[in-house]
Structure 1
Amino acid sequence: MSQVDRSAKSAGLQYAADENPPLLLTGMLGFQVVTLILVGIVLTPLIVLRAVGLEGEYGSWVVFAALLISGLTTMLQARRIGPVGAGYPLFMGTSGAFIAIGIAALTAGGMPLMGTLIIAAALVQFVFASKLGQLRRILTPTVGGTVMMLIAVTVFPVIFDLLAQRPETTLGPSGAPLVATITFLITLSLLLFARGGLKLWGPLGGVLTGCLVAWSIDLLDVSAVATAPWFGLPSVAWPGLDLSFGPAFWGLLPAFIIVTLVGAVETYGDAIAIQRLSHREQRPLDFKVIQGAVYADGVGNLLSGVAGTLPNTTYSDSVAVVEMTGVAARRVAVFGGLMLVLLAFSPKLSALLQSVPSPVLGAFAFVILSLLFGNGLRMVTEGGLSYRNGFVVCLAFWLGMGFQHQWLFSDLLPPWSRVLLDNGITAGSIAAILLMLALNIGSPRRHRRSLAGSHAALGDLHDWLQEEAVAIGWDKPAVMRLQLAAEEALLFLLERRSTGGRRRELRLSAAVQRDGDLLAVEFFMGAQTQENILEQLSGLEAQPDPSDGEDAGLRILRGLVQSLDHQQYNEGEYLSFSVDSTPLA
């Protein structure tokens, strides 16, 4: 049974999410995380601009916009506003998942087209966040991990082009490969062999070392840094938006939507991880927190599109820092976000980062994309790679590769489909989603019933469950056990719901599915209960109190079911359980 052990403590936790560490410690930790993620926030959009030759025109602008939006959304994640934000220290930064499609958009229509595509995809992300509960069986980690691997292998050719550039240096054309090799080896050594928190400095250490070597052989030009002011606004004008909605927009939109949703799935995972680390006593997952994190991610993407820079996402470094330091206080993220905002108004920092040589950028991106591929691999194996899920991953991945390299009958495809299928990320993602839909359709049928969301539904619920159980051979005691479990679960939802001023009649959506020797029952109600049933069960005393009727009901439910889960979302909640379907003798 899925329960929460109140005795389980978060190991090493010094400050929980709602606690306030001293200001000096808060500032130091905020500065540390900002230093760790700064390179990724700034260099990722510069890689995209450099690949299409637009860095000189828009480089200072995207640095300004990326830092500003990352800082604002980091503070939003920490201090949620209404349903938006996680309320936990989740740092936001530029997403490397958008490198490939960002380059495609800039090639097809420049900065205005890319901004419009990002805005459109962000609007879809808001819909996704609002329907997170309903989509949880389709946009699974299997799909998200497959797309992340496709993103990495699709963008690697661009990185190889950066590494192939060999400008003249004091060492001749061999200087650039030397710089790239040293950057790569230092970064890799720190990530793989450093102890404790030192490995978190791998990307920054590699870039700094590479730049020092490049400077020693006249490959690093910092003349623009000396003339740039310490504080001010970028001299480049806002790139604007392309509202013509031509063929290039519609051709690239599916890829932007899919990658945006994959980023949302990654944020989903980070929001789960940060909850597990941020409390002194383990609690059930609050899916409203996860929704809030995805909403804030969408706000960041929307602002990125309006401003004209690559979208952002939650950085897993923030989870790693909490695990390492034991400080999960949300005010650390508030301080860190404020630092990013202040850094955005420093043209000297922008000029310094734009001076990073291409071999250093290429080596840095090589490591980042390798990690992205590894994260995708970890996502698809997180819950165990079954035969069916493994089939989805392998087939979708190689279909994406086949279409990306035009190996699969590209000359026979109609022109309208080439716009979608010539992009391996889009093709592979569509294949993964369709395969997951097929698996859900092919699984045992879920029988559904809509009932009144009140005590009056108990009679109809009993009759319906009896029909379902008898139809598969259950005897009367087994049917009664199923009915009693369903009754206690429904009473929990009804008696603890917070109506919040609702006057309309609530409806209960019930579903039953056979799962081997079990019957799985799921209730959905568009209302909020005041507590999570898993937390209530974990708080039951060892010896029951005969006078506590609510306590008795929970104990009965716990004794009847094989598994129990309760997921609370902003739009309502899902309470699911399974009962042994073996007929009693």
Structure 2
Amino acid sequence: MAAVGLVEGITHEPDDKCPLTVSVSVGLQGLLLAIAPTVLTMSLFARAAGLGERYLAWSVLAAILISGIATALQAARLGRLGGGHNLVSGTASGFVAVGLVAVNEAGLETLTTLVVVSSVLQLVLGGYLRRLRRIITPVVSGVVLMLISVGIMQVVVARLAASEGAPALAEPAVAAVTVAGAALLGLRARGVLRLWSPMVGVLAGCAAAAAFGLYSAQRVVDAPWIGVPEPWFPGFDLTPGRQFWALLPMFLIVSTATAIKSVGGSVAVQRVSWREPRVTDYRLVQGAVSANGVCGVLSGIAGTLPTWGFEASSVSLANFTGVAARRVGYAIGIMLVALTFLPKVTALLLTIPDPVISAYLLVIMGMLFVEGFRTVLQDGLEPRKALIVGVSLAVGIGLQGENAVAELIGGTWGTLLGDGLTMGTLTAVLLTAFIEVSSARRRRLELELHMNALPEIDEFLETLATSIGWDEASTGRLRFVGEEALSSLLEMNEDEAPRRLVVVARPGAGLVELEFLAGLADENIQDQLAYLSNQTDATEQREVSLRLLRHFASAVRHRKYSGIDIVTVEVEGSR
């Protein structure tokens, strides 16, 4: 019997014990994907903030070290910590803009405090994702990612000023060569070569910089081959003032966006890591978010920017190599940690000139903007969602271009209300909450997960259909779907002790969305539906129940969280 949706390219799944040679060889490729963005992002931040050579050297080494820890943690499964899949991690470029604001207005100690506090938020979010799903929607998530990318684009473009002693157009020309090299190769290359197009652009930019006299390799010559990093912890601001409180919302928003990005990265990596497609295990997603929060706290202690997962690189690594075993994640983590004891390697990366780094991040931020747009489109872009996106981006980008509010109000409130990222995100959240509150009142029923609950569920759904004026056929379909959903849940839970079941109904335009929330066994409704899609032979009674559920419901989704499974069923009807 052929497997459904078999992914032929995967040779080693996450739980497989692949040979050491395979782990190391694939790990080396992952190492190259992590080291460049980590070093380049921290270099740009340290130089733009004017924090000096000592901070630059320490922050880059600390960022590499924490990136190694983060990558290894993402591969691990330590209780509720770790995503159980290979998610290559490195310094989060999304924090560059807010980090520069924090350093310029309040100092490095305030930055470290803000990073720690905002990273703790990710640890909290890891356990409460299911409760935020109605507000932190794909629309809100996408808007935040787009606003972050636009803010950083402005920073990197501002860095393209002529260097002292260099021709006036030297830095813009070097940046143009870098962008052109990355873009042209990315447009024409196929397969694994496309994955390396940003690095090829960096090499082309370095060559152009050397031609303009902007490149110096003296740092590499002076650096030893082996050395122990000298720790340098900037400390914390234990008496936060008004600037801290004004900046905190910005960091909380970016941290939330980082958590959302971790969710997307974990989901994407899970989908490509198995030969036979599986429904996303959101317990592992929560573990990935929590692991990122832990590493964010470590970043704050070390005085660097937090980490996030490089989703595209991680997915490409699994697709191109066919190896998704967790041992690869451990190998990448170990090698990143080992690099902190090889100063000459990091010195080589630190010689990359500013215009090359700026151009590299410009390309990366362009892709992040596209990622945000794709996130917005996940659930469709109907008129109400389009209005939320348009208004939120107008407010956010408008304030990023001209902070008129800060000029009018001044002080802490001026800093807070004048920040484009904060206000754009707040606009998206408030408009989304308004839709949620102003929609038809949801109905809720709580009872024991048992077949004896069927009469109550049936009466609940019949009353609902009558109240919204559905005809007899639509009412019967709604009741039938409720019965089959309950039956399917019970069949998957037949060996477990009785659990509580919560049924939430949300009437909409021409449909009703039903959510069944219960503690379930490991099996998943969507797994069963995928299995049945290619089967035409005689089936068991349980399979018949799943077929009927799929036939009468317009959509069936199942999400797994720690301690709870959420089954969402949409039923269309008419009056």
Normalising by the residue count of structure 2, what TM-score does the alignment of the two structures yield? Answer: 0.92
Find 2:42's aligned residue among 17, 40, 45.
45
Does 1:581 find its partner at 2:559? no
Q: Distance in 1 between matches of 2:158 and 2:408?
A: 30
1:4-35 superposed Cα distances (whole Å, 9 cap, x missing partner):
x9521125333333334443333222111211
Matches of 1:30 and 1:130, distance apart in 2: 30
Tell me, in whole angstroms, the C-alpha distance in 1 between the residues paired with 2:97 and 2:64: 21
Rounded to whole Å, the distance in 2 between the matches of 1:370 and 1:360 is 15
Structure 2 equivalent of residue 265 of structure 1? 260
1:490: how far off?
2.6
Question: Are the counterparts in 1 of residues 15 and 325 from structure 2 also a CA contact under 8 Å?
Answer: yes
Aligned to 2:191: 196
Shift of residue 474 of structure 1? 4.5
CA distance in 2, matches of 1:12, 1:138: 37
Instruction: Please say if 1:461 is aligned against 2:454.
Output: no
Partner of 1:483: 479
1:256 is aligned, of 247, 251, 254, to: 251
In structure 2, the residue matched to 1:445 is: 441
Structure 1 residue runs of 4+, over 6 Å off? Answer: none
Would the alpha carbon gap of residues 266 and 409 (structure 1) be closer, same or farther in structure 2, given more than 3 Å must change?
A: closer
Q: Which amino acid aligns with 2:31?
A: V
Q: C-alpha deviations, 1:157-203, integer Å up to 9, x for none?
A: 3222321132225xx45544443333332222222222321122222
Asked if 1:513 corresponds to 2:531, the answer is no
* C-alpha deviation, 1:74, in angstroms: 0.7
* Cα distance in 2, alignment partners of residues 426 and 95 from structure 1: 18
SS at match of 2:566: strand
Q: CA deviation at 1:566?
A: 1.6
**Are 2:52 and 1:59 aligned?**
no
1:323 aligns with 2:319: yes
> Among residues 294, 297, 300, which one is paired with 2:289 in the alignment?
294
Q: Which moved more, 1:530-539 or 1:297-306?
A: 530-539
Task: Give 1:494 shift.
Answer: 4.3
In 1, Cα distance between equivalents of 2:537 and 2:15 = 32
Secondary structure at 1:241's aligned position in 2? Answer: coil
1:416 shift after superposition: 4.2
- Residue 466 of structure 1, CA deviation: 2.3
Contact 2:113 / 2:300 at 8 angstroms: preserved in 1? yes
Worse-matched range after superposition: 314-323 or 198-207: 198-207
| Aligned equivalents of 2:410, 2:356: Cα separation in 1 | 41
Task: Name the SS for the 2:255 alignment partner.
Answer: helix
- 1:421 aligned onto 2:414: no
User: Contact 2:558 / 2:565 at 8 angstroms: preserved in 1?
Assistant: yes
Please give the residue correspondences for 1:355-370 in structure 2 after superposition, counting only pairs within 5 Å.
Answer: 355-370=351-366
> Which one of the candidate residues 530, 533, 536 is aligned to 1:542?
536
Structure-2 residue corresponding to 1:567:
559
Counterparts in 2 of 1:13 and 1:387: CA distance versus 1, 3 Å: same
* In the alignment, structure 1 residue 402 sits paired with structure 2 residue 398: yes
Stretch deviating more after TM superposition (223-232 or 269-278): 223-232
Decide which of 84, 92, 101 is 1:104's aligned counterpart: 101
Check if 1:524 corresponds to 2:520: no
Q: Do structure 1's residue 87 and structure 2's residue 87 form an aligned pair? A: no
Q: SS at the partner of 1:134?
A: helix
- Give a deviation string over 1:281-318, Cα, whole Å, max 9, x none: 12222222222222222222122112211111110211
> CA shift at 1:495, angstroms?
5.0
Q: Deviations over 1:113-139 (max 9, x none)?
A: 111111111111122221212222321
Residue 5 of structure 2 corresponds to residue 28 of structure 1: no
Tell me the distance in 2 between the aligned counterparts of 1:402 and 1:164: 24
For residues 472 and 344 of structure 2, the distance between their equivalents in structure 1, rounded to whole angstroms, comes to: 78
Residues 405, 414 of structure 2: 8 Å contact kept: no
- How is 1:2-401 mapped onto 2 (pairs within 5 angstroms)? 6-169=3-166, 172-235=167-230, 237-315=232-310, 316-401=312-397
Q: SS of the counterpart of 1:310?
A: coil
**2-side partners of 1:423 and 1:582: how far apart?**
46
Instruction: Give the residue type in structure 2 aligned to 1:65.
Output: A
AA aligned opposite 2:563: E
Structure 2: how far apart are the matches of 1:92 and 1:563? 34
> What is the CA-CA distance between 1:531 and the residue it aligns to?
0.9
- Structure 1 residues 38 and 414: CA distance shift in structure 2, 3 A: closer
Q: Are residues 482 and 24 of structure 1, via their aligned partners in 2, closer, same or farther at CA, if it must alter by over 3 Å?
A: same
Give, in whole Å, the separation in 1 of the partners of 2:190 and 2:543: 48
Q: Which amino acid aligns with 2:96?
A: I
Question: Which amino acid is 2:502 matched to?
Answer: S
Using the TM superposition, give the Cα deviation of residue 498 of structure 1 relative to its aligned residue in structure 2, in angstroms.
Answer: 9.0
TM-superposition CA deviations, 1:496-541 (whole Å, max 9, x none): 44999x8xx853222112234433221112x232311222344455
- Deviation of 1:414 (Å): 7.0
**Count of aligned positions:** 571
Q: Is the 8 A contact 2:49 2:104 kept in 1?
A: yes
Change (3 A) 1:394 1:476: closer
- Paired with 2:379 and 2:485, the residues of 1 have a C-alpha distance of 27
Paired residues of 2:405 and 2:418 also in contact (CA < 8 A): no
Q: Is the 8 A contact 1:13 1:280 kept in 2?
A: yes
User: 1:403–1:410: 8 Å Cα contact kept in structure 2?
Assistant: no
Distance 1:176 1:404 in 2: 24
| Unaligned runs of at least 5 residues, structure 1 | none
Identity %, equivalent residues: 37
2:546 — aligned with what? 554
Closer, same or farther: CA 144–582 of 1 in aligned 2, 3 Å: closer
The letter of the residue matching 2:190 is R
2-structure distance, mates of 1:576, 1:351: 52
CA-to-aligned-CA distance 1:183-227 (integer Å, 9 cap, x gap)? 332222222222321122222222233334434554323333333
Task: Find the aligned partners of 2:148 and 2:432 in 1 and give their Cα distance.
Answer: 19
Cα distance in 2 for partners of 1:379, 1:320 equals: 19
The answer on whether the counterparts of 2:91 and 2:306 sit within 8 Å (CA) in structure 1 is: yes
**Gaps spanning 5+ residues in structure 2: where?**
none
On the 8 A contact 1:47/1:361 being kept in 2, the answer is yes
Residues 407, 414 of structure 2: 8 Å contact kept: no
Task: Please tell me whether the aligned partners of residues 6 and 283 of structure 1 are also in contact (alpha carbons under 8 angstroms).
Answer: no
Aligned residue for 1:164, secondary structure, equals: coil
User: Measured at CA, do residues 485 and 401 of structure 1 come closer, stay the same or move farther in structure 2, by a change above 3 Å?
Assistant: closer
Q: Which amino acid aligns with 1:350?
A: T
- Report the alpha carbon displacement of residue 73 of structure 1 after superposing the two structures with TM: 1.3
How far 1:39 sits from its partner (Å)?
Answer: 1.2
Which residue identity does 1:24 align to in structure 2? T
SS in 2 for 1:259: helix
Checking the alignment, whether the CA contact within 8 Å between 1:168 and 1:175 is kept in structure 2 is no
Question: Residue type of the partner of 1:279?
Answer: W
Q: Deviations over 1:261-284 (max 9, x none)?
A: 112222222222222212111222
Offset of 1:450 from its aligned partner?
2.6
Aligned letter for 1:514?
Answer: P
1:356 counterpart SS class: coil
Look up the equivalent residue of 2:112 and give its one-letter code: G
Q: Deviations over 1:359-400 (max 9, x none)?
A: 222222222222222222232234432222221111111111
Q: Which amino acid letter does the alignment assign opposite residue 554 of structure 2?
A: Q
User: Which residue identity lines up with residue 367 of structure 1 in the other structure?
Assistant: V
Normalized against structure 1, the TM-score is what? Answer: 0.90
Output the amino acid matched with 1:7: V
More moved, 356-365 vs 39-48: 356-365
Query: Residues 240, 347 of structure 1: CA spacing in aligned structure 2 closer, same or farther, 3 A cutoff?
Result: farther
